[in-house]
């Protein structure tokens, strides 16, 4: 046979073989995905236990090909890139860390709720972070996060909060702990046992843990999932940790991100029934619920104010000072309560409410409660640095003032970090409003992709005290 023809034949055969292998692999992957899909669909028909802790184990024992749930000393832990440990509870998305020996379930919010500094303290128990998470009977304006979930406090039991001090990550443990709080932070031990930077707990952001070292620095998790220590004046993310009581029943879901476990009945007829953290549509845009008051819910826009052409509106805080003066025509608050308010589509639902504009001493004890010492009542305002979700959107003003300089204001910069800037700087505007909670909810489930849609059948506006 001619050598050239022979080579062409061999080449064609090789090409045919490669194409065949690729086709076989494609069909193999396709049918494997279909097999997993049908297993999951059939899985929904299986009569699992209705107890959450038991059902989690049953599901994984049956179908988890790469087991991401380990059992050690009667404690089940989710590890590595587990993606079937999602729970929707009280408006937040949580990730299950472990099923404890008594079948209680410890879990952490999927995202940071706020960023705070520890402050000049000895350990977690005396910190500003703990005051923000839990009620401190000796101080006002504490328990900000607790107030967002207190309606279902009966679901919770006390956390084991690890307070160990260590300088070497290899010596971590949980030998010193407190059970005095229902809300705490992740321990370095739990982070390491989950797989550290290779685990589901690495969410690509900086956040604090509950442990410190001998130099009164606290351990944190970085955006690349590494552990490190930082001074107590550093503001990092707060991811609350709670523990669900044993015996709670599953009412829905399979634990995935798009179908998380549901453990509570949540019938929503009016805005009064909604949870902090859920989403609603107002003024043709998306808003998130920040807090609930006597007759209102407080919501903040998930986007900047835009003009009729869709261009982001930018303005400075004021030409005069950082005081929240509604009569100052150069102030952003004047614009919000006149031009913006006048064009708000559901204006009849809005209620005047307090916007806390107290001074924050960033060079002192980092006490966020000082921001609650003064307020301005308005229809439209801005969030303070102490409120949930203030860091969700960057390049925008807060209403919190600098204690040392009346010509500066605290802002959330483009990197979503707290920053002091001059009041003349132009920034995007992220408004907040109080909405009458008697307004009817006509559709939606309150999630980011399916927010509540609100009826506009409230005829009178009043003032929230």
Instruction: Specify if 43 maps to a domain.
Output: no
Contact 381, 432 (CB under 8 A): yes
Q: Are residues 216 and 362 in the same domain?
A: no
Instruction: Specify if 45 maps to a domain.
Output: no
- What pLDDT is recorded for position 121? 85
Tally of domains within the chain: 2
Q: Are residues 235 and 360 in the same domain?
A: no
Q: Are residues 372 and 278 in the same domain?
A: yes
Q: Are residues 144 and 64 in the same domain?
A: yes
Q: Are residues 239 and 278 in the same domain?
A: no
Give the span between the Cα atoms of 171 and 186, in whole angstroms.
Answer: 17
Instruction: Specify if 20 maps to a domain.
Output: no
Q: Are residues 201 and 334 in the same domain?
A: no
Burial class (CB in 10 A: 0-12, 13-18, 19+), 294: exposed
Q: Are residues 237 and 285 in the same domain?
A: no
Instruction: Specify if 8 maps to a domain.
Output: no
User: With b meaning 16 or more CB within 10 Å and e meaning fewer, what string describes 154-179?
Assistant: ebbbebbbbbbebeebeebebeebbe
pLDDT digits 0-9 by tens, 204-236: 999 999 999 999 999 999 999 999 999 999 999
| Domain end position, chosen among 192, 211, 244 | 244
- What pLDDT is recorded for position 173? 85
* DSSP classification of residue 73: T
Q: Are residues 183 and 286 in the same domain?
A: no
Instruction: Specify if 262 maps to a domain.
Output: no
Give the span between the Cα atoms of 183 and 191, in whole angstroms.
Answer: 17
Instruction: Specify if 463 maps to a domain.
Output: no
Tokens of 113: 């709720």
pLDDT digits 0-9 by tens, 290-336: 999 989 999 999 999 998 888 999 999 999 999 999 999 999 999 99
- What is the dihedral sign for C-alpha 201, 150, 114, 276? positive
Q: Are residues 279 and 238 in the same domain?
A: no
Give the span between the Cα atoms of 415 and 137, in whole angstroms.
Answer: 35
| Domain end position, chosen among 212, 244, 276 | 244
**Angstrom distances, CA of residue 160 to CA of 15, 54, 80, 164:** 62, 21, 22, 12
Domain extent at residue 100: 52-244
Instruction: Specify if 59 maps to a domain.
Output: yes
Instruction: Specify if 41 maps to a domain.
Output: no
Q: Are residues 289 and 437 in the same domain?
A: yes
Q: Which residues of the chain have pLDDT under 70?
A: 1-18, 20, 23, 25-46, 62-66, 456-465
Q: Are residues 75 and 208 in the same domain?
A: yes
- Number of Cα atoms under 13 Å in the Cβ half of residue 85: 28
- What pLDDT is recorded for position 222? 97
pTM: 0.87
Q: Are residues 295 and 156 in the same domain?
A: no
């Amino acid at each position: 046979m001619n050598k050239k023809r022979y080579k062409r034949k061999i080449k064609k055969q090789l090409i045919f073989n490669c194409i065949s292998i690729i086709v076989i692999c494609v069909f193999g992957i396709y049918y494997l995905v279909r097999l997993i899909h049908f297993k999951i669909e059939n899985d929904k028909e299986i009569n699992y236990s209705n107890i959450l802790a038991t059902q989690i184990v049953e599901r994984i024992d049956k179908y988890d090909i790469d087991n991401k749930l380990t059992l050690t000393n009667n404690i089940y832990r989710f590890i590595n890139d587990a993606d079937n440990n999602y729970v929707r509870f009280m408006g937040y998305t949580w990730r299950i860390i472990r099923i404890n020996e008594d079948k209680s379930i410890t879990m952490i919010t999927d995202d940071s709720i706020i960023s705070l500094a520890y402050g000049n303290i000895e350990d977690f128990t005396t910190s500003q972070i703990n005051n923000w998470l839990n009620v401190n009977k000796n101080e006002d304006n504490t328990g900000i996060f607790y107030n967002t979930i207190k309606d279902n406090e009966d679901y919770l039991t006390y956390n084991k909060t690890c307070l160990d001090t260590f300088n070497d990550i290899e010596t971590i443990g949980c030998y010193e702990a407190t059970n005095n709080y229902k809300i705490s932070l992740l321990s370095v031990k739990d982070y390491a046992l989950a797989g550290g930077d290779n685990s589901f707990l690495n969410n690509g952001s900086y956040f604090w843990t509950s442990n410190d070292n001998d130099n009164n620095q606290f351990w944190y998790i970085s955006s690349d999932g590494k552990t490190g220590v930082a001074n107590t004046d550093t503001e990092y993310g707060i991811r609350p940790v709670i523990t669900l009581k044993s015996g709670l029943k599953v009412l829905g879901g399979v634990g995935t991100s798009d179908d998380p476990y549901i453990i509570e009945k949540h019938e929503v007829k009016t805005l009064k029934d909604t949870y902090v953290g859920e989403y609603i549509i107002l003024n043709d845009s998306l808003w998130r619920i920040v807090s609930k008051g006597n007759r209102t819910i407080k919501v903040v826009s998930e986007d900047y104010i835009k003009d009729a052409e869709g261009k982001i509106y930018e303005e400075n805080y004021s030409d005069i000072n950082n005081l929240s003066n509604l009569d100052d025509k150069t102030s952003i608050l004047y614009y919000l309560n006149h031009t913006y308010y006048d064009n708000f589509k559901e204006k009849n639902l809005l209620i005047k409410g307090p916007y806390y504009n107290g001074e924050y001493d960033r060079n002192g004890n980092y006490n966020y409660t000082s921001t609650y010492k003064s307020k301005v009542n308005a229809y439209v305002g801005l969030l303070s640095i102490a409120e949930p979700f203030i860091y969700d959107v960057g390049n925008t003003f807060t209403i919190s003032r600098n204690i040392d300089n009346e010509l500066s204001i605290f802002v959330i910069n483009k990197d979503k970090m707290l920053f002091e800037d001059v009041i003349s700087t132009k920034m995007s505007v992220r408004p907040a409003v109080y909405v009458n909670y008697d307004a009817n909810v006509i559709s939606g489930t309150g999630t980011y992709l399916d927010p509540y849609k609100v009826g506009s059948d409230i005829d009178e506006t009043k003032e929230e005290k």
